[in-house]
Amino acid sequence: MRDKEKVSAFYTEHKRMPTYEEMRMLFSVASKNTVAYRVNKMLEEGFLVKEDGKITLAQVGSVMVLGTVQAGFPTSADEDIDSELLSLDDFLVDKRGATFMLEVMGESMVEAGIFEGDLVLVERGKVPRKGDIVLALVEHEYTLKYLDNEKGRPVLVPANKKFKKIYPNPHTLKIEAVLKAVIRKYR
């Protein structure tokens, strides 16, 4: 395992950068200067960056972003694919503290590709627009529906032909949050 991977692994495990002393042990070297030497290289390569005198990873993320499914992996000849690293937290969460994860119950949004058991990320306080999928409170029940309007009145539209549109009382209707993302996790 190369230095870079060790540093990355340390960061993922401890949620912070290793100190020079810790790197000295990670790299299995005897001198702190050797660490400084290698750290400098990583700085030059752009793998690490220095901000306010503190050394940090240039890219904190956990997934490599490739192109499309059809394109697949870059011809695996060159083994180290150093495309962009992405943090899913940064990618999917705009407003920390206002973003919540809920599990989907029911089949009312199957045609929108939202199945029972899926996880949804919703953001509170976001202004809902027509066409958004929203988490609404109707008749003391929370439900996930498309938001639309007919003649100025809000309508909650399910994405399942078997379900009916809901015409809630505009005054009691409460849009709790707006859908930001759907996540389906496999084993």
Partner DNA sequence: ATTGTAGTAGAACATTTGTTCTACTATACT
Partner DNA sequence: AGTATAGTAGAACAAATGTTCTACTACAAT
Distance CA 2, CA 136 (A): 50
Nearer to a copy of itself, 154 or 180 (CB): 180
Which residues within the stretch 37-76 sit at the binding site for DNA (CB under 7 A)?
37-39, 41, 50, 53, 55
Distance CA 47, CA 67 (A): 22
Nearer to a copy of itself, 136 or 151 (CB): 136
User: Residue 56 CB, nearest distance to DNA (Å)?
Assistant: 10
**DSSP label at residue 111:** G
Residue 31 designated active-site: no
CA angle 123/124/127 to nearest 5° reads 95
- DSSP assignment string, 82-107: ---EE-HHHHH-SSTTSEEEEE--SS
Among 32, 95, 153, 165, binds DNA (CB under 7 A): 32
User: Residue 36 CB, nearest distance to DNA (Å)?
Assistant: 4
Neighbouring residues of 9: CB distance < 8 A, sequence distance ≥ 6: 1
Which residues within the stretch 104-163 sit at the binding site for DNA (CB under 7 A)?
none
User: Residue 165 CB, nearest distance to DNA (Å)?
Assistant: 52
Residues found near DNA in the complex (CB under 7 A): 17, 19-22, 29-39, 41, 50, 53, 55
Catalytic residues: 108, 145
